[in-house]
């Protein structure tokens, strides 16, 4: 009986860990696909915001839009480092890479270039 209670108590933790691993794995697969199949376009920063998590911690987000080669517009928000956040301003052009078969998957070209370089080293 005690083992059952412990296992039931650990179940939510296991589910959370599994969900985190799936999310990280999906993002890694998306980045790999962007490196191999992505199309580069110029997008525009539409929002830059900092979200305070505590007195000493902030998350930074950049929202951008871009137009695909099929003339459809897409918008995406990414969590970025404080350093990148400080370099990007609303209205600024930004190079973006997206998947032609799924334009909702996109990233800054600088990140895709870093991934391509890392992939070529191994």
Higher pLDDT, 114 or 10: 114
Is 7 a residue whose pLDDT tops 60?
A: no
- Tally of domains in the chain: 1
pLDDT at 23: 47
Structural tokens at position 55: 């007195």
Q: How confident is the model at residue 29, as a pLDDT? A: 85
- Among 53, 48, 81, which residue's Cα sits nearest to residue 64? 48
* Prediction pTM value: 0.74
| CA–CA separation, 109 and 43 (whole Å) | 10
What residues make up the domain containing 88? 2-121
Residues 6+ away with beta carbon under 8 Å from 112? 31, 34, 35, 38, 97
CB atoms within 10 A of CB 32: 13
Q: What is the pLDDT of residues 45-100, one digit of tens each?
A: 999 999 988 888 899 999 999 999 999 999 999 999 999 899 999 999 999 999 99
70: which DSSP letter?
T
Secondary structure (3-state) at 35: helix
**For residue range 18-49, what is the model confidence (pLDDT) as tens digits?**
454 554 566 678 989 999 999 999 999 999 99
Cβ contact 69:99 at 8 Å? no
């Amino acid at each position: 009986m005690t083992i059952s209670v412990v296992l039931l108590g650990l179940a939510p933790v296991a589910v959370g860990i599994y969900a985190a691993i799936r999310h990280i794995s999906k993002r890694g697969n998306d980045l790999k696909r962007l490196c191999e199949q992505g199309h580069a376009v110029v997008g525009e920063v539409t929002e830059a915001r900092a979200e305070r998590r505590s007195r000493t911690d902030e998350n930074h987000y950049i929202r951008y839009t871009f137009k695909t080669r099929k003339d459809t517009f897409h918008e995406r928000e990414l969590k970025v480092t404080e350093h990148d956040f400080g370099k990007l301003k609303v209205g600024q052009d930004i190079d973006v890479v997206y998947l032609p078969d799924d334009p909702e998957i996109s990233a800054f070209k600088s990140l895709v270039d870093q991934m391509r370089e890392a992939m070529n080293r191994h």
